[in-house]
Structures are given as structure tokens and as C-alpha cells.
Amino acid sequence: MKGKLEPLERQKLVKEGKNLKDGLITLEEDLLKLSDELQQEAQCIPNMTHPDVPIGEEDCSTMRKMVGSPHEFSFPVKDHLQLGKELDLFEFDAAAEVSGSKFYYLKNEAVMLEMALVNWTLSEVMKRGFTPLTTPELVRSSVVEKCGFQPRGENTQVYTVEGSDQCLIGTAEIPVGGIHMDSILAESMLPLKYVAFSHCFRTEAGAAGTATRGLYRVHQFSKVEMFILCQPEESESYHEELIKIEEDLFSSLGLHYKTIDMASGDLGAPAYRKFDVEAWMPGLGRYGEISSASNCTDYQSRRLGIRYRPSESSTNPKKGKGKLAPTKFVHTLNATACAIPRMIICLLENYQQKDGSVVIPVPLRPFIGGLERIAPKFPQDE
Amino acid sequence: MGLRCYFGGTAIQTLRMAVIPASSSSSRFIFGRPLSKTLTLNSLFLRRNNVNYLTRPPFTLLTKALAATAVQAAPPTETIDRVVKPQWKAAIDFKWIRDNKDAVALNIKNRNSNANLELVLEIYEKMLAVQKEVERLRGERNAVANKMKGKLEPSERQKLIEEGKNLRDGLIMLEEDLLKLSDELQQEAQFIPNMTHPDVPIGEEDRSIVRKMVGCPREFSFPIKDHLQLGKELDLFDFDAAAEVSGSKFYYLKNEAVMLEIGLINWTLSEVMKRGFTPLITPELVRSSVVEKCGFQPRGDNTQVYSVEESDQCLIGTAEIPVGGIHMDSILVESMLPLKYVAFSHCFRTEAGAAGAATRGLYRVHQFSKVEMFILCQPEESESHHEELIKIEEELFSSLGLHYKTIDMASGDLGAPAYRKFDVEAWMPGLGRYGEISSASNCTDYQSRRLGIRYRPSEPTSTNPKMVKGKFTPTRFVHTLNATACAVPRMMICLLENYQQEDGSVIIPEPLRPFMGGLGLIAPKFSRAE
């Protein structure tokens, strides 16, 4: 229509242009809707799975490693609840009044034990080159979703704040994953290794039964979490690094545990491969999960928008306008360094003595003012 | 019969009209909807308890049934806007208020409170009148019941039956009124702030008095930086990423700042434990009723409190709340007192309505770590425990080498629960002024009357010659006090800004070093030239 035209021709072209424009608008709307639908459906697709992962349900999981064996007791063993009552370490009843079930106060030496566990764990992991962090515990719900959790599902684990798009975190994995969201990192920055301390909040909706007594399943707890962002080629070796750190920590504390390669039916959407550690809890009479280490490859980074720019573009002969290599998605991994309540169960139940006291493992003593044992406050006869 | 004439209709109407308070809100309350229907369920629940509540003197045991769980079974009536059925009752001493109304009125004025004392007294008087009438009617009904036990003519019996029925109907209506009045009274009376210590300066913030000043502002021989700049240069915080992930006024602590937070918490807990306090870690989600009982307003317009969706739970703004709740609805033994707790928790505050320059960086944030001291004691001892708490705070801050002043807060700045409040403000060179780092309040029995925390004195009080049936002395309300031992972000501001060196590093005060793995200095990561 830029050239010289007869009025009649011009009129035809104007009409044609208008039809095209209207057609385009309708199609673009369709495109948007399809795009949204595609996103919604595709987000349900789980991450791919490592070839060595056993296929099947929970019972197909394989044991990678077993360390130690159940401690033999020469006297009747108490569970952590009874030990806690006798040593005046917890208060569940008052918490049920103030807050509801599955809440608790820690008292006396249990407070010192929590602080010591957090300090020691942070210190040990920092020695291995991780940057310490404390994180926000309220985050936007979109960040929770981008990490692969469902804040608004029916049996959601996530507490939401009224009148807001904010949620309480269930793990520091979420705010740490969010630190570099929508960013392009320089390759030289990788790997980024963080160790984060936070309180965690979980609704535990749908969790009922005996596996919920005392500290085993609670709504609020302290946790030290490891998080790595790295190049794709390196994520498998960092997964090995993370599980090794966990095993070193648990061995130092003298725990008897087994490391499990979780079966495909038990992975959870973000994980390419997941190793759980279950420790022996004599009071419970069985193994209980104390940590989980996942390699999420690029599942989270594609949602969080975390990319890096490789420093050379050796594999890409086609140069773009500038000399920059195209970005790639990082891989992310997360692993529990210390989940306090489960660790307290392990320590109390495994280290209980006949006289009702509990011995503090040697590595923790410098972090607990040298305390060697939690002694009963009153003679056992009472 | 005299009774029948009395209950001929007009008399009841007159009586009922008399109990309706004059103020418009209450008229809405009574007239707003048909009287019996919506309240029936509520009455059934509450009458069981309120009968006990009203016929005994106010100090006695509130049954467990009055706790939130039972009352919550009765939903608040929908059509009432202003008068929401209180879900719990504070054991307020109305008689004392009435007998000391001038002092109470003056106190309300001095504290800039919008409590309506006149209304409270009016409702109270009406309630007393209705109560008296209820008792009278009950007496008459009993008399009728007794009469019916004997031999009677059928027509006499019929008359008595009808009389009994009228009395019963009248009683039911009056008892409903009594309930409503009781709820209204509670709602209005809960606004009345605590009384005030005679030494507290009267007036606004500018009337507060400095009790003590320790140290003086450090002289710097180089241009000083504020904590934000120090944090950036030493890679200690990240506010920008937190703004994306969570929103403004959130932050990550990194590197040595993490160690500093942990060092501060551990050192503070350790120091306060040495002074005989029991350490605690508390829930950070609590029922909203507990928040209210401590004197906070979870559902006001500019509330400081985050609520959880579809739940009656809130995030705590201070460990004072869950610690106050530990002994709620309990009777403690005198020998247990004083109970001294030092509690560590994260705290969450909406900071709604707080804007302006006093909100940069760590000064005003939505989430922070805090170590809080809490004491429950006998009434005669609360003043001395208040002195004890402020002394502990001052020792802690002096050990860290801070320059600060302790302020006796003026009446207009106290907040409803506090009988007396001491704030500590420390010098923050980067801010160029003093900033509040702690607050120590003596709440006397304000919180304990709401939380239902009593104790039983061990010996009979000499002033009470009348012993009740058992050998127990009547219970009394404890006094509660709370004081900040360490609010981590404000403390961090103080340490970073006061201990900065010319080369950009920050010295760690001696007492903290053993709790930070011996670290003595936070050094710049890169040379200053960069």
C-alpha cells in the first residue's frame, strides 16, 4: 500500500489488510491459549530417570551401602518420647494447646543439642567448601512451584499466608533455588555450593498412623540443607559428593544407617536420581529416614530460569551476532545435611544408658559447651 | 398471685427494654435479628459454662470448656458486625474497675487508649441487675417447684404449672440477655489497658526519661559506612535476590553474617542460662486466640500478624507469645515460681504501616531471629524481676561494647499490656542515631488474666480468715514479664557499624569469638582497590 494506487485498488487492499489483521488476532489468541494449556499439561511431566535407578515401587529400591549394625542393649530400651519426658527435654502437651498437634517445645539440653547439631553441621559442611546461608522462610508461591512442589494441591504440604501470594517453606531448597532465578551465571562461578540453615514448615496433610509419634513427624523443624548449582556434565559426580558428605556426617555421629537408591515410583517429579539415608531408631524398632539427596538435573533450572554461559563456544560453529556462546541450563542438586528432630530421635534412642542418661557423641561436645551427657534430673526410682 | 401479675407481660417487657444499653452498636446487637433463634446453639454451649462463671466470684477457676476449643464449636453470629462473640474470656476484675473508675479513666487517657470505660461500667451495672433478677426468678421458680410437691387441688396445680412455665420462659430470656451482656462486656473491657506504674512519665514519646546512658558515640577517623554498604562489600547479605523470591524487607545472610547470627544466639542463650533461665525453642505457628490473649491484635487493619490461610493459626511476632501460652489455663504451685525462660525463635512481622527511612536494610524486616526472656512470678516480685531483666540486658550490651541508653517509656508509648516498659536504644553510627535494640515490659496480671495463669499460695493468706471448704487458699494470678535478650538484625547493625575499621574489615567483639570458631575479624574478600 506504499506505492501509488487507484482508489479502488487501495480500497480492496485496505479490506484485505483488515481481514488479515482480524484473522491474526484470533489466531494469536488461540496461540496464547494453546501455549498456556501446553505449559499446564507439560509441567506435569516428571524429570527423566537415571538408567541405574531400579524400576518399580518403594520395595524395589536397592541398598547402596550399610554402615554399622543395631546397637545391642543390655537393658529395656526407651523411645525418644519417654526419654524426653524423663529428662525434661520436650513439651508436646502445652504445644498442642498453644498451636495444635505435631508441635512441640524443646527444653533444657534438647535446646543445646539442636544448637550444637546445627553449628557442627554448618561447620563441617563449610570446611568442604560450601557457602553458608540463612534464608527467608516466607516465599512467593510461584517460587515453590518452580522448585517442583504443589502449594495449592489437595493434600498440599505447604502452608499459605492469608491474603497474600506467600507460602512458608518446607525446605531451604526453595529459597536457595530461588537465589539465582532468572539469571545467567558465568561458567567460572560454577559450581555454586551452598549450605543453608532454616526452619521448615509442613502441613503433613494425609500423613497419619504410628509413624507420626513425637518428633518423627512434626509441622515445624530446623534443617541444614546443601544445594549445588553446576554444569550438566558434573551433576552425577556432585550427587556422589553430596551423599558422601552425608555419610561422613552420620558416621561421625556413630549412627547405624543404610543408604538407599530410591526406585522410580518413589522419586518425586524433580529428581533424576535420589538417595535416601535411613538410620536405625531403636525406640521405634525400625529404620527411619533422616536425609534425602536428589539430583534434579535441569528440571528446576528450566522452571527457575537459571542458565550459565559456557566460556568457550567450541561446539558451536555457527556464531551468533556477538561472540557469546548460547546459554545452557545449570543442573541443581539438594541434600539434607541435618534434619534436627530425626537426628535427635537417633541420638537419644541410640545413646541412652541404663541409668536413664544419654551420652553426647564426641564431635558435638565442643559445640555444646563440653557437655558429655544429659543426666536425669531426678533419681530413676521416682 | 403476685407472681402472675408481675409476669403479665408488661413488666417483662419493661425489664428487657431496660437492659438494652443506650449506645447504637449495642442496639444493633439486640435488635439486629430475632433474639432466640440464632443464639440457641450458642446459648446451649455457653450457658453450661456461663452459669458457673456468673454465680461464682470472678477470680475462680475458668473451666477448660471455656478454652477456645469448646467455644469455637459455636460460630459467631453472622449479622453482628461490631460485636463478635469473643472466643475466650479474660478474667477481668470488673468490680475493681468500678470501685476505682477515676484512676482507670485517667489511665486510659494517659495512654491514649480508645477504651470506652463509661460503656463498660454501664454494661456491667446492667449485667449485675439482670443477674440479680435471674437469681430472684430462680428463687421463685424453686418456690413454685416446692409447692408442687405437696397435695394440691387440680386447679391450683394447674395454676402453679402455668406460673412455673412463665417463670421458666422469663428466665430463659433473661439468661440469654445475660449471655449477650457478658459477651459485650468482655469485648469492651478487653480494650482497657493495664494500669501504669506511678513512676512512669505521663505523656507522649518525647516525655520518656533516660534512666541510664552507657558509653558515648565512637569517634571515627575515616568516613564511616552504614551496615548495608558494609554488608555489600563484605558479601554478607543479599536483599535483591530476596526481594525477587519473597518480597521487600526479606534477606539472605551469607558467610560470616551467618556465623555472627549463630554466635550471637549461642552466646546470648549461654549468658542468660547462667543466670538461671530455662532454655526453650518454641513453635512459631500458634492459634490466634493465644496471640490475642497476650495483648496483640491478629485481625486489626494494620495488624503486625501473618495469618495462615484456612486455619486459626498465625505466625508469631515474638517468642513472648508461645512462652506465655505454655502455662495457659493452669494453676501453678507457689514453689514453682518464679519461672524464668529464655526462648529462641524466628519472628515474623508484617510491618504494615511502617514506611520511610527507618526501614532500610536490616532495621525493619519481616523475619528475624530473637532470643527472648520471660518470667512468671508472684505479684509482689514483678517490679524486682523487671529490674533484674533490664540489668541482664544492660550487662549483655555492655559486654559487647555498645554505646546505649535505657529509657523509661512514657504512658502514651506503652502498649496495652505493659504496666511499665524500659527500652534500650543503641548508637548506630551508619544511621547517625539511636535505634531500639530491646524492650523489657512488666505486664503484671494483664496477660495472665487472659491466658488464665494462676498460682496457689502455699500458706493461707493472713488477710483471709474465712477458709473455704477445702484447705486450699484461693488462687491468684501470676505476673508476667518479657524482655529482649537479643534481636539479631538490630544487633548486627550495631556490631557492623560500630566495629568497622578503616580497611573495610569488621572486628568481632571478644565475648562472641568462642561462639564463632575463634573468628576475630570479618575481612574484605577482595582488595579495596577493586
| Cβ B389 vs Cβ B254: under 8 Å | no
Residue among A165, A147, A169 at smallest CA distance from A157: A169
Q: Touching check for A287 and chain B: CB below 8 Å?
A: no
Q: Is B261 on the interface with A (CB under 8 A)?
A: yes
Give the integer Cα–Cα distance in Å for A349 and A81: 9
**Would the CB atoms of B252 and A175 count as touching at under 8 Å?**
yes
Share of chain B above pLDDT 90, in %: 68
pLDDT of residue A211: 63
Which residues in A lie closer than 8 A to residue B328 (C-beta atoms)? 97-98
Are A99 and B322 inside 8 Å of each other by CB?
yes
Query: Grid coordinates 426468678 are at which residue?
Result: B137
Whole-number Å distance between alpha carbons of A59 and A55: 10
DSSP A130: P
> Does A111 contact chain B (CB < 8 Å)?
yes
CB contact under 8 A, A138 and B346: no
User: Which position has the grid cell 487458699?
Assistant: B473
Q: Which of residues 32-61 of B touch A (CB under 8 A)?
A: none
Strongest mean pLDDT among A13-17, B148-152, B475-479: B475-479
pLDDT band for position B157 (50/70/90)?
confident
Position A225 scores a pLDDT of 98
Comparing CB atoms, the residue among B246, B290, B329 nearest residue A136 is B246
Using pLDDT thresholds of 50, 70 and 90, give the confidence band for residue A290.
very high
A341 in contact with B, Cβ within 8 Å = no
Provide the 3-class DSSP secondary structure of residue B354: coil
What's the mean pLDDT in B473-491?
96
Judge contact between B243 and B250, C-beta under 8 A.
Answer: yes
Give the pLDDT score at B106: 95
Q: At what angle do helices B382-399 and B256-274 cross, to 10 degrees?
A: 140
Q: Note every long-range contact of A102-105, with CB atoms under 8 Å and residues 24 or more positions apart, other chains counting.
A: A102/A204, A102/A212, A102/A217, A102/A218, A102/A219, A103/A218, A103/A219, A103/A220, A103/B283, A103/B285, A104/A215, A104/A218, A104/B283, A105/B280, A105/B281, A105/B282, A105/B283, A105/B322, A105/B326
Distance of residue A262 Cα from the nearest chain B Cα, in angstroms:
30
A·B CB contacts under 8 A: 150
Residue range A32-56: average pLDDT? Answer: 93
Alpha helices, DSSP H, located in B190-331: 227-233, 240-245, 256-274, 288-293, 320-326
Residue B254 has which C-alpha cell? 551469607
Q: Which pairs count as long-range contacts for B264-268, CB under 8 Å and 24+ apart, including other chains?
A: B264/B486, B264/B488, B264/B491, B264/B492, B264/B512, B264/B515, B265/A115, B265/B344, B265/B369, B265/B371, B265/B486, B265/B488, B266/A115, B266/A119, B266/B515, B267/B511, B267/B512, B267/B515, B268/B342, B268/B371, B268/B396, B268/B485, B268/B486
Q: What is the pLDDT of residue B521?
A: 96
How many percent of chain B have pLDDT more than 70?
Answer: 79
What does the DSSP assignment read for A338-352? Answer: EEHHHHHHHHHHHSB
In whole angstroms, give the CA distance from residue A273 to residue A279: 20
Give the residue from chain B lying closest to A180, CA to CA.
B241
- CA–CA distance from A110 to each of A83, A98, A371, A375, B145 (Å)? 11, 20, 12, 12, 62
Distances (CA, A) of A65 to A68, A259, B45, B67: 10, 5, 59, 51
Spatial CA neighbour of B324 closest among B381, B375, B386: B375
* CA–CA separation, A205 and A172 (whole Å): 20
Tell me which residue of B67, B42, B63, B41 sits closest to B52, measured CA to CA.
B63
Q: Is the pLDDT of residue A313 over 70?
A: no
Mean pLDDT across A61-67: 96
Mean pLDDT of B339-365: 86
pLDDT bucket at A254, cuts 50 / 70 / 90: very high
Q: Which residues, other chains included, contact B481 with Cβ-Cβ below 8 Å and sequence gap of 6+?
A: B374, B375, B377, B382, B385, B386, B389, B440, B441, B442, B443
Peptide bond between residue B338 and the one before it cis (omega within 30 degrees of 0): yes
pLDDT at A186 > cutoff 90: yes
From B281, B286, B306, residue closest to A98, measured CB to CB? B286
Q: In angstroms, rounded to a whole number, what is the distance separating the alpha carbons of residues B501 and B503?
A: 5
| Residue A86 DSSP label | H
Please answer yes or no on whether B246 and A175 come within 8 Å at the CB atom. Answer: yes
In chain A the beta strands, taken as DSSP E runs, fall at 62-67, 90-91, 105-107, 131-134, 138-140, 166-168, 183-186, 192-201, 220-230, 257-261, 273-281, 286-295, 306-309, 328-329, 331-339, 358-359, 373-374
The pLDDT of residue A297 is 97
**A369 vs B259: CB contact, 8 Å cut-off?**
no
CB contact burial B268-294 (16+ within 10 A = b; e otherwise): bbbbbbeeebbbbbbbbbbbbbbbbbb
Mean pLDDT of chain B: 83
Categorize the per-residue pLDDT at A268 as very low, low, confident or very high, splitting at 50, 70 and 90.
confident
- A70 with A255: CB under 8 angstroms? no
* Contact status of B340 with chain A (Cβ, < 8 Å): no
| pLDDT of B362 | 95
Tell me the DSSP string of B443-459: -TTHHHHHHTEEEE-SS
What's residue A249's pLDDT?
98
Contacts of B75 (CB under 8 A, 6+ apart): none
pLDDT tens, position by position, B229-266:
999 999 999 999 999 999 999 999 999 999 999 999 99
Predicted confidence band of residue B460 (pLDDT cuts 50, 70, 90) = low
What is the rounded average pLDDT of the residues A34-61?
Answer: 93
Of A191, A147, A138, A130, residue with least CA distance to A165: A138
Residues A346 and A353: their CA atoms lie apart, in Å, by: 14
| Cα B521 to Cα B259, B345, B509, B524, distances in angstroms | 12, 27, 9, 10
Dihedral (CA of A267, A271, A275, A279) sign = negative
A324-380: per-residue pLDDT in tens? Answer: 789 999 999 999 999 999 999 999 999 999 999 999 999 999 999 899 999 987 655
Cβ–Cβ contact A142 with B under 8 A: no
* Of A112, A137, A140, Cβ closest to residue B346: A137
Alpha-carbon distance of B375 to B382, in angstroms, equals 9
Q: What is the pLDDT of residue B45?
A: 33
Furthest-apart CA atoms within chain A: distance in Å: 112
Percent of chain A with pLDDT over 70: 94
User: How many CB atoms sit inside 10 A of residue B89's CB?
Assistant: 24
Q: Which residues of B touch A159 (CB under 8 A)?
A: 285, 308-309, 311
Return the residue in A114, A121, A135, A199 with the most chain B beta carbons within 10 A, the one to mutate for interface testing: A135
pLDDT confidence band for B43 (50 / 70 / 90): very low
Q: What is the pLDDT of residue B466?
A: 56
The structure's pTM equals 0.85
- Contact between B244 and A178 using a beta-carbon 8 Å cutoff: yes
Nearest neighbour of A105 by CB, restricted to B250, B251, B280: B280
Distance CA(B268)–CA(B491), nearest Å, equals: 11
**A108 chain-B contacts, CB cut-off 8 A:** 278-279
The distance of Cα B154 from the centroid of its chain, to the nearest Å, equals: 60
- Which phi and psi (to 5°) does residue B337 adopt? -85, 150
- The candidate with the shortest Cα–Cα distance to A171, out of A136, A129, A142, is A136
Q: How far is B339 from chain A (nearest CA, A)?
A: 13
In this prediction, residue B150 carries a pLDDT of 81
pLDDT at B173 over 80: yes
- Closest among A165, A141, A170, A162 to B309, alpha carbons compared: A162
Cell numbers that stand for A377 in this block: 534430673
CA distance A63 to chain B (A): 36
Is A114's CB within 8 Å of B306's CB?
no
* d(C-alpha B305, C-alpha A323), whole Å: 52
Residue A106 near chain B (CB below 8 Å): yes
Mean pLDDT of A298-323: 76
Task: Give residue B81's pLDDT.
Answer: 41
Question: Among A248, A269, A268, which Cα is nearest to A259's?
Answer: A248
Mean pLDDT of A224-238: 98
pLDDT at B36 over 60: no
Q: How far apart are CA B78 and CA B39, in angstroms?
A: 11
Q: How confident is the model at residue B27 (pLDDT cuts 50, 70, 90)?
A: very low
> In angstroms, rounded to a whole number, what is the distance separating the alpha carbons of residues B66 and B47?
11
Main-chain phi, psi angles of B455, to 5 degrees:
-140, 160
How many helices (H) and strands (E) chain B has is answered by 17, 17
Set of chain A residues whose Cβ sits within 8 Å of the Cβ of B315: 161, 168
The grid cell for B375 is 518470667
pLDDT by residue (tens digit) across A95-134?
999 999 999 999 999 999 999 999 999 999 999 999 999 9
Q: Which chain B residues have a beta carbon less than 8 Å from that of A136?
A: 242, 245-246, 250-252, 366-367
Class of residue A17 by CB neighbours under 10 A (exposed 0-12, middle 13-18, buried 19+) = exposed
Which residues of A are known catalytic residues?
A: 202, 217, 289, 292, 342
CB contact residues (below 8 A), chain A span 199-258, against chain B: 199, 201, 219-220
Residue B261: per-residue pLDDT = 97
Amino acid B6: pLDDT: 33
Which spans in B7-100 are helix H? 10-19, 24-31, 35-55, 68-71, 94-99
Is B324:B314 a contact under the CB 8 Å cutoff? no
Indicate whether B451 pLDDT > 70: yes
User: What is the phi/psi pair of residue A32, to 5°?
Assistant: -60, -50
Q: Which residues of A touch B306 (CB under 8 A)?
A: 138, 161-162, 164
- Name which of B397, B408, B405, B407 is nearest B491 in CA terms: B397
**Residue A137: its chain B contacts at CB < 8 A?**
346, 348, 367
pLDDT digits (tens, 9 = 90+) for B304-324: 999 999 999 999 999 999 999
Stretch B20-27: mean pLDDT, rounded?
36
Supply the pLDDT for residue B152: 80
pLDDT of B91 above 70 = yes
Is the CB of residue A129 less than 8 Å from the CB of residue B272?
no
Q: Is B170 helix (H, G, I), strand (E, B) or coil?
A: helix
Min distance A242 CA to chain B CA atoms (Å): 20
Collapsed DSSP state (helix, strand, coil) of residue B125? helix
CB atoms < 10 A from the CB of B1, how many? 10
Q: Is B9 left (phi over 0), alpha (psi -120 to 50) or beta?
A: left
**Residues 6 or more apart whose Cβ sits within 8 Å of residue A39:** none
3-state secondary structure at position A375: coil
Nearest to B58 by CA among B100, B86, B96: B96
Give the A window 68-97 contacts with B, CB below 8 Å.
Answer: 91, 94-95, 97
DSSP state of B308: B
CB-CB under 8 Å, A119 with B245: no
Question: Using CB atoms, which residue from A107, A133, A136 is nearest to B254?
Answer: A133
Chain B residues within 8 A of A119 when measuring between CB atoms: 262, 266
| pLDDT recorded at residue B148 | 82
